[in-house]
Structure 1
Amino acid sequence: MESRPLRYFVAVAEELNFARAAERLGISPPPLSRAIRALETELGAVLFERTTHSVALTPAGTVLLAEARPALDALEAAGRRARRAADASPKLVLAVKADGDGDLLEPMLARYGAEPGALPVQVRLCGWREQPDLLRRGEADVALVHEPFDRAGLDAETLIAEPRVAALGAAHPLAAEESLTLTDLGLRPEEVDRYIEEHRHAGRDLAQLLTLVALDCRTPLLPLSVAARYPRPGVVFRLVADAPPSVLAIAWPERSRSTAVAALVRTASAVALTGTRSP
């Protein structure tokens, strides 16, 4: 099965309209219809129920759509990785959120860079939860990412688990306490992940989020390393003793055969094991 008819199929399946799909693909409707008919003949299955007024996926079409999207993504990712591998100056691309490295990034890169044959590492800063998609699309070779995350198509190794702290405005009633519990914050353990996601979306970045904290508009849960690295006037951090830990992992595409990626993963694990952190 070739990729072009699959791309045509996905366009029609997403638009459920041959004219709109053809416009999206930059072709006219007749050759698009012929390509879909040819694909159905090749598969021996009807993919769309067509009437004069509507287009709908058949059960076979629904299955193919679920399989075709990751297959096309994998093809594009393979092309990106091949082009980078053919580069005259090969490098590793490491995806990480700016405040999400658990203080491991600098010592990890320094230790890896000292190894014989180490490749240059390009750090790609990204947003919350963007790392897995960058790996799957072939735009990054390895990533530091907090769990939980979508592991589809990826391998990962846990690096560190660190306590969580609550960020509070200095005038917040709980700021006078030495430590807190989830009950103090009105939370149950099963609500922590949702609570963290809600506060992550409240600010575009950590600086904006801490501004909201100082104004007593937010009380996010953060990894202890973030509190240590980003002190801010008007904000206090209090340990939440019974909160689940913040777990940082290193992830890479499960089909990667790169010895450089393997070396960087080993280095990250060694740095995490020795407890070496950025000052």
Structure 2
Amino acid sequence: METRELAYFAAVAEELHFGRAAARLGMAQPPLSRAIQQLERRLGVRLFDRSSRGVSLTPAGEVLAREAAKVLDAVAAATARTRRAGLAAPRLVVALKPGGDGGLLPDILTAYGSHPDAVDVELALCGVAQRAQLVRDGTADVAFLHVPYEDLTGFDSEPLRVEGTVAVMPVGHPLAGRASVCLADLDADPTPRWPGRHPEVTDPAMLMQLVALGKMIVVAPESVRGQIRRDLACVPVLDAEPTTVVLAWAEETRSRALAAFVRTATEVAGRLAHAPG
């Protein structure tokens, strides 16, 4: 199969309509239909059921839809990484949400700057959901992620710091004055909790605004304290699973600059973990 054929198939699989898929691809519908039929003949299976009620994926088509997405993402990522590797001035792109480095990044950057394999570092500040995607699509080389909240499939990773968990709520909330809470306390509260409700809200500023309005309680790593507004409170959650800050990068990546960054980050995290106070 060619990537062009996979792109044609993926468009139809997402639209479930040949006309809309053709318009999206910028081509006429008859050539698209012929390309899909040729792909079905070569594979020896039907990928779509076509009827007067519309177009739907067959079981074989559902499998190919999943696999095609992986292949097309990998091709796009390979293209992006190759182009970036060919830049006259190479750089390392690090994705993170604001405050998502566990307080480690300033020391990491200072130490990394003196490494013989270091290159210029570009920070890609983004929302919670975008960090991993930037690495998957080749826009970023490495990201600060949080386990257990992140899917590390397809990544190599290195743990840096284990943090406790806090609940972020308005200062006027009934639980805000407590020294600590348990998950049962949050479960009993009628305020929706994130992660959980409204998973599509991933922008940190929007999350904090919803918290300030009393629309949400956010459960987050303890290091979020440094970015919290004055009208919000952080209360430790005693029985929540600890959060591990990790560096994550695409599997089988070969880059001296990236290896030096990961090695430096691990050394800095270890040193700070054993520092007095």
2:64 partner amino acid: L
Preserved CA contact (<8 Å) 2:117 2:256: no
Preserved CA contact (<8 Å) 2:146 2:246: yes
Q: Which ranges of structure 1 fall in alignment gaps of 5 or more residues?
A: 189-193
Is residue 2:24 matched to residue 1:24?
A: yes
Aligned sequence identity (%): 46
Preserved CA contact (<8 Å) 1:99 1:206: no
TM-score by length of 1: 0.86
- What residue number does 2:254 align with? 257
Q: 1:99 to 1:35 in 2, by over 3 A?
A: same
1:8 partner amino acid: Y
Which stretch shows the higher mean deviation, 57-66 or 2-11? 57-66
Structure 1 position 54, deviation (Å): 2.6
Q: 1:73 to 1:211 in 2, by over 3 A?
A: closer
Preserved CA contact (<8 Å) 1:196 1:221: yes
> In 1, distance between residues paired with 2:153 and 2:140?
15
Structure 1 position 153, deviation (Å): 1.5
Question: CA RMSD, aligned part only?
Answer: 2.7
Q: 1:272 to 1:21 in 2, by over 3 A?
A: same
Is residue 2:60 matched to residue 1:60?
A: yes
TM-score by length of 2: 0.86
Q: Spell out, residue by residue over 1:159-179, the C-alpha distance to the aligned partner (whole angstroms, 9 max, x if none).
A: 111112233444443344333
> In 2, distance between residues paired with 1:187 and 1:159?
33
1:177 partner amino acid: R
> In 1, distance between residues paired with 2:164 and 2:242?
5
> In 1, distance between residues paired with 2:76 and 2:204?
32
Preserved CA contact (<8 Å) 1:167 1:238: yes
Preserved CA contact (<8 Å) 1:129 1:145: no
1:149 partner amino acid: E
Structure 1 position 63, deviation (Å): 1.5
Residue 122 of structure 2 aligns to a residue whose secondary structure is strand
- What residue number does 1:191 align with? none
Q: 1:211 to 1:202 in 2, by over 3 A?
A: farther
The within-5 A match list for 1:93-172 is: 93-147=93-147, 148-172=149-173
> In 2, distance between residues paired with 1:200 and 1:18?
33
Q: Which ranges of structure 2 fall in alignment gaps of 5 or more residues?
A: none
Structure 1 position 202, deviation (Å): 9.6
Residue 81 of structure 1 aligns to a residue whose secondary structure is helix
> In 1, distance between residues paired with 2:200 and 2:45?
47
> In 1, distance between residues paired with 2:111 and 2:96?
18
- What residue number does 2:224 align with? 226
2:162 partner amino acid: A
- What residue number does 1:79 align with? 79
Residue 230 of structure 2 aligns to a residue whose secondary structure is coil
> In 2, distance between residues paired with 1:55 and 1:168?
47
